Amino acid sequence: MKAKVLSFAIALIALLNLGTATAQNLVVKQYPTATDLGTDLQLCVDFAGLGNINEVDIIVNYTAVVETYCINRGQQKQDCEPVPGLTRTLPNQSSTLTFDVRNGRTRGCQILYTDFEAGDCPDGMRSIVDVTFKNVSFTILGRFFNLGDIAPVAPSNVCR
């Protein structure tokens, strides 16, 4: 009887400890990149060694510099400049992107969508907002990657 109870207890402990495998050997197949899309950030990754999981969370941290451009109807769009008083720096922003994992590997790009609002432009002017991403870094399964400052979209592209 003791042997059956002991066997049952061991089987129960083994069953309860049966969980999702975690990355024991994260392999960087290609170094991650980030691209400024104007108001959003695209993150591209290629990691292997993720084990037997279906998805993995990547926590992205950054500083957002939100610039507002005020355009009137007759203004040449190539002349647009950010309005100094309407530029805001927002440190310590954080978002989570979830990537699918297939056969222990995740690769591809996802867009981190932001919803920073433009500042108030004077009457009759329309506002355009641009976000520059600085100090971009992310963590995947406890491993840290620093991507630094991301080259911003040129203002002439923002106003077109």
Q: What is the tens place of the pLDDT at every residue in 78-114?
A: 566 777 778 899 999 999 999 999 999 999 999 999 9
Q: How many residues does the chain have?
A: 160
As for how many domains the chain has, the answer is 1
Any domain includes 8: no
CB burial of 127-150 (b: ≥16 within 10 Å; e: otherwise) equals: bbbbbbbebbebebbeeebebeeb
Question: How far is the C-alpha of 153 from the C-alpha of 37, rounded, in Å?
Answer: 7
Return the half-sphere exposure (C-beta side, CA atoms, 13 A cut-off) of residue 51: 11
Any domain includes 7: no
Q: What is the tens place of the pLDDT at every residue in 25-57?
A: 899 999 999 999 999 999 999 999 999 999 999
Any domain includes 141: yes
Give the 3-state secondary structure of residue 137.
Answer: strand
Any domain includes 65: yes
- Single pTM value for the model: 0.76
